[in-house]
Amino acid sequence: MTTARTQDILSLIEAEHRQVEQLFTAVETAGNNKLYDFFNQIYKALNLHTRAEELVFYPAMQEYEETRKYIQEAEEEHEEANVLLEELKVLKPTDSEFKTKMSDLKKAVQHHVKEEESEIFSAVRQCMNQEQLTQLGREFQEAKAKIEQDVEIAMTT
Ligand SMILES: [Fe+2]
Ligand SMILES: [Fe+2]
């Protein structure tokens, strides 16, 4: 077997941001019968992503003064998204509230993603070298594999 190419954590995070953006676009054009399926995909992707960031990326940011200062706000923004995801989970896609909350979620996520990819990423690049970022990329993937089942259980309860 060839050695799997390990990506640095910033490219992994960025790729997941793009995936979630595509899902939001899919939701906007989907018919009612497909909506819940796309919502489930968003629910799973965002939960995995934010939890893995909280387990691996934010703790690494805790190590440096330059990056530490972004953690609290970022965690609050994750919490905001989580609350909306849980509220959406109990609604039917045909409920009038579903669309409003979905667009609130999209806005919240867009804002957070922008902050991560601009201010946070550039601070992280100043503090961590490529080797650290690649190691964190590995840990990020491992964390996601570990919590995947928890997220799937959360989806059905
Ligand atoms: Fe985040
Ligand atoms: Fe993120």
pLDDT tens readout for residues 34-55: 888 999 999 999 999 999 999 9
Q: Where are the domains of the chain?
A: 9-156
pLDDT, residue 84, reads 98
pTM attached to this predicted model: 0.93
Alpha carbon of 1 to ligand 2 centroid (Å): 31
CB 37 within 8 A of CB 113: no
H or E stretch including 44? helix 32-52
Whether the pLDDT of residue 30 is over 60: the answer is yes
Residue 2 pLDDT class (50, 70, 90 cuts) = very low
Alpha carbon of 4 to ligand 1 centroid (Å): 25
Alpha carbon of 2 to ligand 1 centroid (Å): 32
Rg of the chain (C-alpha set):
16
At a CB cut-off of 8 Å and minimum separation 6, what does 124 contact?
10, 61, 67, 133
**What percent of the chain is modeled with pLDDT above 70?**
97
Q: Which ligand is nearest to the CA of 58?
A: 1
Whether the pLDDT of residue 114 is over 60: the answer is yes
Alpha carbon of 89 to ligand 2 centroid (Å): 21
